[in-house]
Amino acid sequence: MSRALVTGAAGFIGSHLCDALLARGDDVLGVDCFTDNYSPARKRANLIDALAAGLEFRRLDLSCDPLDPVLKGIDVVYHLAGQPGVRSSWGDDFNAYARRNLLATQRLLEATLRAAGPRFVFASSSSVYGNTGDQPAQESDRPAPLSPYGLTKAACEELVAVYRRVHGLSAVSLRYFTAYGPRQRPEMAFASFIRAVLSSRALHVLGDGHQTRDFTYVTDAVAATIAAAELGAEPVYNISGGTSSTLLGAITQIEQLTEQSALISFSPSARGDAYRTSADLTAAERDLGYGPKVSLREGLALQIHAAKSEPVELAEAVA
């Protein structure tokens, strides 16, 4: 049994990671500062199962609060906290991205060094690649982010790499490709699409709907994250669902699974949104034994079931 620190524990992937670590018998300390990028009530609800299973939780702002106390006795740091979202990272809002991504990561790296260097796992993003073109992105490809958000993730990866090179920190970064599933942030595509279809409201697609994504079900992302903590030898790994789909193709599956028609409206593409993402998983398969277990259709069915079971007050928070 190991003792793990999970930052961003109340978030989408973070809360699922806490559940998985606790289920296998790890001792888990979760921290989160409950930023207002979406309803804190939804974030608190994300932690219900983990708290019941023994999660130790502290409310903490990584960008300014003392960090040494939460690193005591920690074997693995899973750093999933950060300011998410491509579209809101432009303009004056960039300050939040600089503080909650770059500064928070640098302070946590320093605290990890002072704690005699636990294993450090950083949650990065496929946004560092920008458009991946005709060939799946490889970890050796030059980052070319299309948004300030993607830039901060690329910069955080470089920070982690600096501490790995200069201080010998045992660290790895994971580039998640469009994670989805229960507890997904409410503004993300599948969460908003499913909510719209179930309530017979207009479903808003930015762009022509033919943009493709390599969608990754959340439990696959979590399994890869734990494997990376234990087995990852390379500095960076792609983590994806292994197959791509257009947005319109995913919407068709949502219609079939809900037996309801989508009322689709189209708007111009948002600044910073990549048109195509696709991951080469060779390194993750080789080193982590990673292979996606959940198909897009299976994952959508699970997310739809969760949305139907969601308490009314949480559904109304984003209606």
On the question of pLDDT at 245 being above 80, the answer is yes
State residue 19's pLDDT score.
98
What confidence tens digit (pLDDT) does each residue in 22-47 have?
Answer: 999 999 999 999 998 889 999 999 99
- The overall average pLDDT reported for the chain is 95
Residue 319's pLDDT band, with cuts at 50, 70 and 90, is: very low
Mean pLDDT is lowest, of 79-93, 104-118, 227-241, 305-319, for 305-319
Q: Residue 174: which of 95, 251, 262, 237 has the closest Cα?
A: 237
What confidence tens digit (pLDDT) does each residue in 182-236 have?
Answer: 999 999 999 999 999 999 999 999 999 999 999 999 999 999 999 999 999 999 9
- Domains of the chain with CATH codes: 3-316 (3.40.50.720)
Helix (H) or strand (E) holding 135: none
264, exposed or middle or buried, with CB in 10 Å at 0-12, 13-18, 19+? Answer: middle
Give the integer Cα–Cα distance in Å for 210 and 102.
Answer: 33
State residue 113's pLDDT score.
97
Percent of the chain with pLDDT over 70: 97
Catalytic residues: 149
What confidence tens digit (pLDDT) does each residue in 138-151 have?
Answer: 999 999 999 999 99
On the question of pLDDT at 317 being above 70, the answer is no
Judge contact between 151 and 98, C-beta under 8 A. no
On the question of pLDDT at 316 being above 60, the answer is no
Judge contact between 4 and 74, C-beta under 8 A. yes
